[in-house]
Structure formats: C-alpha cells, structure tokens
Structure 1
Amino acid sequence: MMITRHWFTLFLSVINLSASQSEPICKVYKTNRVDCSGRELNNLPQNIPSYTTDLDLYNNNIASLPPNGFVRFKQLHSLVLSSNRITSVDSTSLKGLKNLQYLSLSGNKIVLTLDAFKDLSKLKVLSLSSNSSIKIPNDLFSPLKNLKNLSLSDNHFLILSSISFHKLGSLQTLDLSSTGISILPDGIFESLANLKELALKQNDMVCFPNNALQVLTNIENIYFDDNKMNQPSCTDIILKNFQKLKMLSLSSSFTQDAIIPNFIFADKKPHETDFEGTKDLLSQQGTFDSANGEPIFTISLYGNNINADSLERLLYDFKYSKIRKLSWYSGRGLLSHNDRLNIERFERHKIENSST
C-alpha cells in the first residue's frame, strides 16, 4: 500500500513538471536579454528571470497585462509588447518598472488610463504607433520627464488637445504621421523647447501649421510630406524663427497647379519687388544668411505640381534664405533642362557665397 502511494505521488510530480515545461521556452541570453517574440503566447510567461534587462514579447497573442505582472523586474530597461492583442493599460499594468527606458506598445488596440505611465519616470523612448484610434488623456505623459522620443504614428483619428504634450520638456523627436490630423491646436508644442525633429507626414492638413510651430526654435527637421495644401488662402510657410532648421520636406503636399507655397524667411524679404520681369534670378547679387555660419538648409519639394514659372519664383524666394540645397522632382514628370540648370546654378551660387 505504501509502495503504491509512493508511485502515485511520483506520477503526480511528473505530470506537474510536464505541465510547467509545456509553456513555450523563451531564449535567455548571457546579456540578460530574453527573447519571447513570435511564440504564440497568450499570457506573460512566469519563468522569465527576474534579473532580465531586455524583454521582447513582440508578435504574440497577449490580450491583457496581469496586474503587477512586471513588479519583480527591477532591472528591466527595455520592454517590447508590440503586435499583440492588448486592449488596456492601467496603473497596475506597468507598475514597478522604475528603470525602464524603452517601451513599445505599437500594433495593439490599447485604451490608456490617465495613470498608465506613472512609474516610468526614466523612460526615454515610447512607441504607441498603430493602435487604431487611440485616445490620449490629458496629463497622460506628465510622469515622463525624461522622454526623448515619442511615436503616435498610424493612429487614425488621433485627438490631441493644447496640453497633450505640456510636460514633455526633454522631448527631441515626435512622430504624428498618418494620424488623420487636419488642424493642430494652438499652444500644443509650447513646452517642447528641445524638440529637434517633427514628423507630420500623410495627414489631412490643408495649411502649414505656422501658429503651432513658431515656438519650436530648436527644430532641425520638419517632415510635412503628403498633406493636402490645396487652399489658395493659406499658402504661407513661415520659417523666420527656425534658426537651426536643416531639413524641410514638403514632398507631394502641393497637388494643385494653382497652389504655390509662399516661403517667409524674414519680416520682409530683401528687394521683394525685384521679381517682376526678372527671368535670370540667379545672376542677381545679394547677401546670404548662410554666409554667417548657419547650418545647411535643405528643402524637398518632390512630387508637387509646381510649374516652371512657379519654380522661378521659389528660387527667388530661396535666394535670400539659408537654403543651399533643393531636392526637386515635379509631379508633372522630369524637370526640363533649363529648370535643372536653374537649380544647379542656384545651389552653386549659394555655396560659393557662403564662404565670402
């Protein structure tokens, strides 16, 4: 009887061991990185070492994050939860991750509560892209004092308020591409004194958001490609406050023949009336802001329906600016030989004068 009981107990222990081993095994590296990606997991595995610093759960079937499920990971620096089925992140979902620096929640269908990120004061990179129509509660990002890179791209019908980013003073890169934005609220970027790169590509903006952008005095790169600037009443692009700007990309944003962008680099352009009747704009002499050691400024106008006459006007506007490089491909097709020569002469002229 005792022997039978002994074997029965041993049998149960083997069954339990098999059950624990049936859980898909993640790869544990010597660098304390754990790779659980693409393993059809439905839940957070329980056998992940507590000393893990990088945890990759990309491309699984996780639908919910257990309350306090990450509390034991005191050393976790990077957490990838993208391409799962997560529907909610609340105050307990990421609790205890006080050393986390990188977090990706992209490719889910997440509803965020106001205090979802309350413990993530050291976070530097956050991706919330491709979450359908994610809603951003006011003050959601308030705990993220050290955040430098934020992506909200590919969230269709994204709704933002004037205070959505008002506590992100360390932010350097912001991606709002493909979010369905048509208008930016005034004051939305007022706290982003250190922002260097802003992407607003593939949205529904009919006017360049001059009012919202003028506070970004440290901006270096603006990507405004594939918008819908088709209103003759708002063609101004005011650049006079952007002393550090290196790249302005406006590819495929002016799709109608009648729409010609009006670039404003100062309160008043030098010799503004000299344009009338002038054909060879590049033969004129003038001073160049880029001669004062400012960064090279490139503007991209690929894929716009801007004709040869409009090109002449633009080159004249650019003559008295910091622009030294013009990327151009007309939506009408290849540039004519004369247009190409004009652009080449413009760029050569600007570079030569920058050293005088």
Structure 2
Amino acid sequence: MMGPVLAACLLIILSTAWISQANGATCKKDGGVCTCNDNTKSVDCSSKGFTAIPSNIPVETTELRLGFNSLSKLSPKAFHNLNKLTFLSLGNNQLQTLPTGVFDHLVNLNELRLGTNQLTSLPPGIFDKLTKLTRLDLSRNQLKSLPDGVFDKLSQLQKLYLQENQLRRVPEGAFDSLVKISEVQLYGNPWDCSCRDILYLSNWIREKKGTVSNIEAAECDGGTKAVLDVTEEEAAEDCVYPNTTTAIPTTIITTLASSNDDDIPELPVPQENFQKFLGYQEPDHLPTQPQCLMSISGYLGLMMSLVLTSAAILYVIHFLKKA
C-alpha cells in the first residue's frame, strides 16, 4: 500500500512548488528580477522594463529604486503597504500624472525622486503627508504650474529641485514653510518677469540669497535678466494663466463671438480623452513583462499539477483493482 501514499506525497510537493511560482516574485532569490538586500532592506528594480509597480515588494523595504523603467502611470494604492520607505526613486520614467493620495502612506519618507518624467501638473496636497521629507526632486519634467500650498507641509525639506520645467511663476507664499531649505534649483524655467506674480519669487530670492544655494540662477524668459533683479515697474501686468480660475479676458470673448464658424479651427481631441468619453479606462495596475512570464509559468504549473493528480488517481484505482 506504500505505492499510492508515495505518489500522493510527490503530487502534493510538485503542486505546492508550481502554485507558489504562479504567485510571482520580486526578488531574484525568489525567482524575480529585482535585487533585494535583506540587511539594508533595499529593493533595486531599476532598468527592468517595468510598466507597472510590482505588487509583491516586501513590506519591510526601506529603500525602493524604480528608476529607468517605462512607468507611465501609477495606481493610487501602489505604495500603500510600504509605510517603512525612507527612499523612493521614480526618476527617468514616463510618468505623466500622479494620482491623488499615491504617497499618503509614506509617512517616513526622507527622499523622493521624480525627476526626468513627463509631469505637467501636480495634484493639490500630493506631498502633504510627507512631513519628514528632506529632499524632493521634480526636475526635468514639463510642469507648467504648482498648486497653491504644495510645499506647505514640508517643514523639514532641505533640497528642492525644480529646474528645467515650464514654470512661469510660483504661487504666493510657495516657499514660506520651507524653514530648513538650503538648496533650490530654479534654472531652466521660462519665468515670466512681466507679470506681478513674479514679484514673490524675486523678493524671496533676494531675501534668501547667500543662505539658499543656486537660487540666483533663475532667469527671466529669454535670458534677458535674473529674476532677483526684476523691479515692480517691470512686473506691472496682471497676467492670466490657463491654470487659474480668473475670468477669460473680454478681448478674447469678443473675438470668438465675432468669428465665423468657418474661421474657428478644429481642435484635436487627444486619444486619451476620446477613450474616456467612450467609457474606456485602463486598469490601474498593469502586469509587467516579467510578471506575465511568471504568471504563464504558474498556469502551466497548475495544469501540470492537474495532470499529475489525474495520473495519481488512475494509478491508485489501478493498484486497488489488482489488490
């Protein structure tokens, strides 16, 4: 009677191995593609071709590197079980937006790298829970504006990188809460020095010159002069920016009202908006190529386990008939 027992034991072992593989893995030691260090609690998933955040990152992780991948969007809950993170790198990806609340559980985060992406705006309150943040990199994006109070909760911030974006102004009081700031990079933005809105930044740079490094490098659009040299007489206009709620100037309304229908250009509808209009939405959490491979191997393993199960059952029936 030992034959059927041995066959059943072997079947259980094989099935367990294949099913565990179907769940996927992040760390190389478990069959994944990322490098994990148990001593430093760090996970390095850089340059792996990921299009979504791996869903099984160890909860004890304190440092997570996801730079140089192909991330274009994040799930709002991508980091909700990683509240021990102190370092997070998402630089050199293709991020276009950040979902509201995506960083809310990272209450111990010290450094956040979002540089070299395609961000055009930031959600209000996106950094409000990151009260321990000391370094924030938003450089080399396409930011056209900053929300009011976006840095108000970052009283521990020491270094802020905003260079090489499309910023023309910063909100009034944008840097007032940064009491520990020692470096701010502002160069490479088309600062609009003809509008009154620039006066806050100009006065702040003059006040902090010598105590906050690199701020003097901010130049007016066209490189005509430094932002800190702008006078009230030069910044005399009350400008209206597309991201504000200020009413549209009457000259524009009059022009539109007097135009013939044939003169109005056809505005292209972005594919993303068209898909939303049709009710199509992409899933928040897309599988990466390595995850797909692991899932396929898992399904194959499950099928094999079913075959083995059937074979074992037939073997037991055959053995009992002979007995």
Q: Which residue of 2 aligns with 1:191?
A: 177
Partner SS state of residue 237, structure 1? helix
Matched, 1:57 2:45: yes
Residues 49, 183 of structure 1: CA spacing in aligned structure 2 closer, same or farther, 3 A cutoff?
closer
Q: Which residue of 2 aligns with 1:211?
A: 200
Partner SS state of residue 228, structure 2? strand
The TM-score with structure 2 as length reference comes to: 0.55
Q: Which residue of 1 aligns with 2:132?
A: 146
The TM-score with structure 1 as length reference comes to: 0.51
Deviates more, 1:177-186 or 1:219-228: 219-228
CA contact (8 A) 2:203 2:228 kept: no
Larger relative contact order (CA 8 Å, sep ≥ 6): 2
Partner SS state of residue 126, structure 1? strand
Q: Which residue of 1 aligns with 2:64?
A: 79
Matched, 1:112 2:112: no
Q: What is the one-letter code of the residue matched to 1:182? A: R
Q: What is the one-letter code of the residue matched to 1:59? A: S
CA contact (8 A) 1:229 1:235 kept: no
Q: Which residue of 2 aligns with 1:353?
A: none
Give the drift of 1:122.
1.3
CA contact (8 A) 1:35 1:56 kept: no
Give the drift of 1:180.
1.7
Give the drift of 1:225.
4.5
Q: Which residue of 1 aligns with 2:212?
A: 220
CA contact (8 A) 2:219 2:227 kept: no
Give the drift of 1:187.
2.0
Residues 16, 78 of structure 1: CA spacing in aligned structure 2 closer, same or farther, 3 A cutoff?
same
Matched, 1:127 2:123: no
User: How far, CA to CA, are the matches of 2:178 and 2:202 in structure 1?
Assistant: 10
Give the drift of 1:108.
2.2
User: How far, CA to CA, are the matches of 2:115 and 2:169 in structure 1?
Assistant: 20
1:237 to 228, 234, 237: 228
Q: What is the one-letter code of the residue matched to 1:97? A: L
Q: Which residue of 2 aligns with 1:172?
A: 158
Residues 3, 184 of structure 1: CA spacing in aligned structure 2 closer, same or farther, 3 A cutoff?
same
User: How far, CA to CA, are the matches of 1:236 and 1:178 in structure 2?
Assistant: 15
User: How far, CA to CA, are the matches of 2:38 and 2:33 in structure 1?
Assistant: 14
Deviates more, 1:200-209 or 1:77-86: 200-209
CA contact (8 A) 2:191 2:227 kept: no
The structure with the greater share of residues assigned to helix is 2
CA contact (8 A) 2:27 2:33 kept: no
How many aligned positions are there? 220
User: How far, CA to CA, are the matches of 2:85 and 2:26 in structure 1?
Assistant: 25
Residues 112, 229 of structure 1: CA spacing in aligned structure 2 closer, same or farther, 3 A cutoff?
closer
Partner SS state of residue 64, structure 1? coil
User: How far, CA to CA, are the matches of 1:49 and 1:90 in structure 2?
Assistant: 25
Q: Which residue of 1 aligns with 2:28?
A: 26
User: How far, CA to CA, are the matches of 1:214 and 1:103 in structure 2?
Assistant: 33
Give the drift of 1:49.
8.5
Q: Give percent identity, aligned residues only.
A: 22
User: How far, CA to CA, are the matches of 1:132 and 1:7 in structure 2?
Assistant: 57
Give the drift of 1:36.
1.8
CA contact (8 A) 2:116 2:139 kept: yes
User: How far, CA to CA, are the matches of 2:45 and 2:103 in structure 1?
Assistant: 19
- CA-to-partner distance for each residue in 1:252-305, whole Å, 9 max, x for gaps? xxxxxxxxxxxxxxxxxxxxxxxxxxxxxxxxxxxxxxxxxxxxxxxxxxxxxx
User: How far, CA to CA, are the matches of 1:96 and 1:25 in structure 2?
Assistant: 17
CA-based RMSD: 3.9
Give the drift of 1:65.
2.8
The structure with the greater share of residues assigned to strand is 1
Partner SS state of residue 47, structure 2? coil
Residues 210, 222 of structure 1: CA spacing in aligned structure 2 closer, same or farther, 3 A cutoff?
farther
